[in-house]
Amino acid sequence: MPRSPDLLFRSLADPTRRAIFEGLCRHGEQTVGTLTAKAGVSQPAVSKHLGILKQAGLVRERHEGRQTHYRAQPKALMPLLDWTGKMAAFWESRFDELENLLNRMDQ
């Protein structure tokens, strides 16, 4: 796999992105509009999340007229089935929590 696993772990550490990806796994191909309706965040935010998922190889896009359809690429998750990968993802998520804490400590 040419992509960095780091990117994969970080892209899935965000709960909104994970929900978008899980939705695509469960319900198949969807448009940005449909995904926005479910995500509870703005369309630009959803598009940004999809961009990050795409970079990580987790989704693929398909253009049809003015619509862009997104589809999950679950094979990109393979590194996570290795427990070393799981620990890395665990620590990535802890780093996110650490970052949140540090930001709160400022105030």
Partner 1 sequence: MTQTAPETRTVVVEREFTHPPDKLWRALTQPHLIAEWLMANDFVPSVDHRFELKADWGTVACQVMAIEPHRSLSYSWAALGLDSMVTWTLTPTKTGTHLRMEQTGFGPDQTRAYQGARYGWPKFFDGLEQTLARLD
Residues engaged in binding partner 1 (CB under 8 A) = 12, 18, 22, 25-26, 74, 77, 80-81, 83-84, 86-95, 97-102, 105-106
Position of tokens 């319900």? 27
Pairing mode, if any, of strands 67-72 and 30-31? antiparallel
Distances (CA, A) of 105 to 14, 82, 98, 99: 21, 35, 10, 10
Compute the least distance from the CB of residue 83 to partner 1, in Å.
4
Compute the least distance from the CB of residue 43 to partner 1, in Å.
26
The smaller minimum CB distance to partner 1, of residues 33 and 78, is found at: 78
The smaller minimum CB distance to partner 1, of residues 52 and 88, is found at: 88
The smaller minimum CB distance to partner 1, of residues 41 and 80, is found at: 80
Q: Kindly provide the b/e burial profile for residues 67-94, where b requires at least 16 CB atoms within 10 angstroms of the residue's own CB.
A: eebbebbeebbebbeeeebeebbeebbe
Compute the least distance from the CB of residue 7 to partner 1, in Å.
13
